[in-house]
Amino acid sequence: MDPAELAAQERELVLPGFSNDDAWRLGCLLVDLAREQGAAVAIDIRRGGHRLFHHAMAGTTPDNDDWLERKARVVRRFETSSLAVGERFRAKGTTFEASSHLDPALYAAHGGAFPLRVRDTGVVGVAAVSGLPQVEDHALVVRALRRFLA
């Protein structure tokens, strides 16, 4: 995916605030959107270190929860989407796994985790999806955030 497009998404999808109730609404919206497209995904929303929403749809496994954790760690560390981090390494002709010096058992720069950025505050949390190909995981979170902000 184009790094400029990924950066534009992050500039666009800035929240006015993010409460526990907002996490519930965003999580339910993600579940609804996944059901509409017939996707089996696991969804995780966190603010800081606090898990505010988690749902694993039928057809997912504990492996999806592991992917959620690993992708979310990338967002917390780099304060950008997990897909954008992976794309940065690929643009340099390498991979995140080969060049980041981070344990791939703990970090995964694959699409599906997106920073929850609050205006005048910065990144306060992460919305993450696992179960689809990485670009589709990313697109699902972006679509939900756009609808959430509308």
How does strand 14-15 pair with strand 50-56? unpaired
Name the band, by pLDDT with cuts 50, 70 and 90, for residue 2: confident
pLDDT tens by residue, 52-108: 999 999 999 999 999 999 999 999 999 999 999 999 999 999 999 999 999 999 999
What is the predicted pLDDT for the residue at 35?
97
Name the band, by pLDDT with cuts 50, 70 and 90, for residue 146: very high
Look up the CATH number of domain 3-149. Answer: 3.30.450.150
The answer to whether 71 and 112 have CB atoms below 8 angstroms apart is yes
The answer to whether 26 and 124 have CB atoms below 8 angstroms apart is no
Q: Where are the chain's structural domains?
A: 3-149
| Six token digits for residue 76 | 């917390």
DSSP string, 80-119: S-HHHHHHHHHHTTS-HHHHS-S-TTT----SSEEEEEET
Q: Residue written as tokens 């497009």?
A: 5
Cα Rg of the chain (Å, integer): 14
pLDDT tens by residue, 19-43: 999 999 999 999 999 999 999 999 9
pLDDT tens by residue, 118-128: 999 999 999 99
What is the predicted pLDDT for the residue at 1?
80
pLDDT over 90 at 150, yes or no: yes
